[in-house]
Structure formats: structure tokens, C-alpha cells
Amino acid sequence: MSFKNKVALVTGAGQGIGLEMCSQLAMAGSKVILNDVDEILAASGVKKVIDVTGGTCISFAGDASEPAFIQRMVDTAVAKYGHLDIVIANAGITLFGDFFTYSPEAFLRVLQVNLAGTFFLAQAAANQMKLQSSGGSLLFTSSVTGHQAHKNLAAYGMSKAALEMLAKNLVIELSQYRINVNTVAPGATLTERTMDDPEYAATWSRITPMGRAATVTDIANTALFLVSEKARHITGQSLIADGGWTCISPSPF
């Protein structure tokens, strides 16, 4: 898949899945704007992308749940490169907690980052893309927890299921402008965060039908297909990349 002359913006991309998405997009020829709320992670992520790919990648650090900041990111991308073709709303937050004691502050933060951030990024990007004769592609990062219940993740799972409904609804709004919108729903994935748990890889390898947890490359491969020209007639869909876990859903606990 070639992304030559495409301009891509990826949020929550200082490490993990988002960083691998940026690397693959840059390697395939895209000019990449890498966002992370952590300025140091954003800068180090850009360096890693450039070192690995030799491609074009710039940093735009800040909170991708804030509408004003989101608009600045989109405006900067267009001012620098003239257009915006691919936007991946990957920024998200996981706040585990018992339903009976889950705090309003945690609940609202999950919704602000996972839902409001994605909604207003899609809005800002779509307003730009509808001005372009070529349209564009939007992708939201969902989760298998939006499909199957998972202990201590009621708010998070609810937010991820909502993202998939948002993608379906936006088909009505965006198709006439040649903008497609989809979600990728990763299962258990080996990232810097999950590997803090020394049992994570072994546990998920045991209960995943394909015999292992996903790598960030597995998820990025899925994402790149959905934002590529090969998927332009696919819209409003969620593609689960979980090694078959949601088909049988054994608990990790």
C-alpha cells in the first residue's frame, strides 16, 4: 500500500500502537503529524519514526481531547502541507475501576478523551476534507471491550462501543464528500503499558485462539488497510484484530 503524497495525522502516538501506525505511514510515503499529550514522548516518537523510516514526521504535542487544540492541529497540517488525507483518532485513556465506586471524575475524563476527543477531531478533519475533491479517510481506535464485557472497564468499554456507533452514524454525514470512516478494535496487544504486567503475554497467549497476543504491527497493519485506497469503499465498519478472542471470550481473570 502506497501513501505517497498523503498527509496523515495520528493522535496518541508517542508510543505503542499509535507510534507504529506513524512509522508504517511514513515508510509508505506519507507526511505524518504525530501527536501525544506528553511532549517528550511526542518528540522521541518523531525521532524513532525518522530514524527507522527516513520519512517525514513532525511532532504536535498537546491534549487531543480539547477542541481548540484539535483545530490547531488540523490547521497546522493544512498550512504546512496544503491538505489532510488521513486522520487516525488513536488517543485514549483507560481508567480501571469497580463500577460500585467509580468516581465521576474518572468517568468524565474517560468520556472527554475517548469520545469528545474523537468526535471533535473527526469534525475538524471532516470540515477540511469536504473542501478537498479527494475527500479523505477517518479511523477511530476502538477495542474488543466495546464488544465483550470486561471486569472493571464499564466506562471504558462503553466509550469504545460508542465510537463504533459514531463511525456508523457519520456514514450519513460524510459519504457525499468522499470521506470514509471506520474503526479498528484491537484485542490484547503487547505495548509498553501492557508489558508492565509480567503475566500479560503468557495470560493472553493462553486464552487467544491464535496462540498469542497481538503486536503493535498487527494492529497498525489493520489500520493502514482501512485508511488506504484499497478500502475506500469500506465505511461505517469495525474491524476486530484480536486473534479470535471475541469469538469465545475466555476471561483473563
Specify which residues 214 forms β-bridges with: 189
Residue the block writes with cell 476534507:
129
Verify whether residue 143 is a known catalytic residue: yes
CA dist 162 → 13, 145, 154, 183, 226 (Å): 21, 11, 12, 11, 19
The catalytic residue among 31, 48, 142, 156 is 156
Alpha-helix runs per DSSP H in the chain: 16-27, 39-53, 67-81, 104-110, 117-129, 154-174, 200-207, 216-226, 245-248
CA 22 to each of CA 57, 90, 175: distance values in angstroms, whole numbers, following the listed order: 8, 11, 25
Catalytic residue among 23, 59, 143, 228: 143
Task: Report d(CA 103, CA 99) in Å as an integer.
Answer: 9
d(CA 219, CA 57): 20
The one catalytic residue in 48, 65, 160, 228 is 160
Pairwise CA distance, residues 204 & 212, whole Å? 6
Question: What positions carry a catalytic annotation?
Answer: 143, 156, 160
